[in-house]
Amino acid sequence: MVGSALMRRLSAARYHNVVTRTRAQLDLTDQSCVNRFFEHEKIDVVLLAAARVGGIRANSVFPASFLYENLAIETNVIHAACKYKVSKLVFFGSSCIYPKVCPQPIKEEYLLTSALEPTNEAYAIAKIAGLKLCEAYNKQYGTRFVSLMPTNLYGPNDNYNLETSHVLPALIRKAHEAKERGDATFPVWGSGTPRRELMHVDDLAAAATFLMESDVGEGIFNAGVGRDWTIREVAQLVSRVVGFKGELVFDTSKPNGTPRKLLDVSKLANMGWTAKIGLEDGIVATYQDFVARTALMRHSVGTG
């Protein structure tokens, strides 16, 4: 999702010499493969968006995989970027790096001031290690590695697998399938009271290229929209966009996750960047993408 958004943004900004690899073409958890790639391609700038990601369930079931794979990707790419003298690197983290309970909105300096949310601790620790590695390389080697901490993302090419998806794509799929079946209800994890800030992935891509093109060579920068919604409000909006007419059922036996994660986005705003895509407009476009992808998959299976 993030990679495709970056490609759309870079193409629109007329960057033509963009080097990419699929997961099948380059194993970022293998240091020797990463080194060969950097040596051969003579990379100038790195946007490090690659990661193993997932929602509450995936983080809870596969903590070792989340911790190991993300640590391996980060250490291999950041080390190679230094070794092969990349001029700038933008490391993509996550708002889950911040403590479970801390003042709102969350400033960058609140990092490591108290305990993390247990349901995504492994992923958060890996991302904290990545941004600290950027800081360490800057200090020791004079590199220009910066870290971008996006809020919860959604948009085209999102993951709609209910076993591993984040909250918004899961709600879109549940609402759509409930509508298709004619169900009277559709389930929502938790109480509906936690609040979430949601940003369209194209806004993240815009923030990343803005930071890439800036003169800034170090630091952590939050990227978000500056407001949040309850899960109940998000689920109601998704239902309206999808056209589901039934009722929401909140399953309080399921975890809520962090009570609130609203980022303070003043650092980027003071530099001149703010998000542009409204939540309802973003959900409408994302639902259209989901319907198109679902239809394509059905066609592929039907004509196999």
How far is residue 33 from each of residues 24, 38, 40, 71, 100, measured CA to CA in Å?
A: 12, 9, 11, 16, 36
- The arithmetic mean of pLDDT across residues 277-303, rounded, is 81
* Per-residue model confidence (pLDDT) at position 167: 86
Distance CA 123, CA 303 (A): 39
Percent of the chain with pLDDT over 70: 97
CA angle, 55 as apex, 49 and 56 as ends, to 5°? 140
Distance CA 44, CA 85 (A): 8
Strand partners, 180: none
* CB-count burial class (<10 Å; 0-12, 13-18, 19+) for 133: buried
DSSP per residue, 251-301: ETTS----SEE-B--HHHHHHT------HHHHHHHHHHHHHHHHHHHHHHH
Q: What region does 218 belong to: left with phi over 0, alpha with psi -120 to 50, or beta?
A: beta
* Per-residue model confidence (pLDDT) at position 298: 62
Model confidence at 16: pLDDT above 50: yes
Three-state DSSP class for residue 250: strand
Query: Which residues make up each annotated binding site for NADP(+)?
Result: 127, 150-153, 166
- The arithmetic mean of pLDDT across residues 2-8, rounded, is 94
Per annotation, catalytic residue among 98, 123, 154, 160: 123
> Which range, of 52-66, 177-191, 285-299, averages the lowest pLDDT?
285-299
What are the pLDDT digits (tens) for 173-201? 999 999 999 999 989 989 999 999 999 99
- Helix, strand, coil % over all residues of the chain, rounded to 5: 50, 15, 35
* Per-residue model confidence (pLDDT) at position 301: 46
Active site residue 123: yes
Domains of the chain, each with CATH number or no CATH: 2-303 (3.40.50.720)
Q: Is the dihedral of CA 2, 66, 152, 265 positive or negative?
A: negative
How far is residue 280 from each of residues 22, 195, 234, measured CA to CA in Å?
A: 31, 16, 9
The DSSP H or E segment spanning 186 is strand 185-189
What are the pLDDT digits (tens) for 222-277? 999 999 999 999 999 999 999 999 999 999 998 887 788 899 999 999 999 999 99
State both tokens at 288: 């259209």
| Average pLDDT of the chain, as a whole number | 93
Distance CA 298, CA 173 (A): 15
* Per-residue model confidence (pLDDT) at position 297: 61
* Per-residue model confidence (pLDDT) at position 189: 87
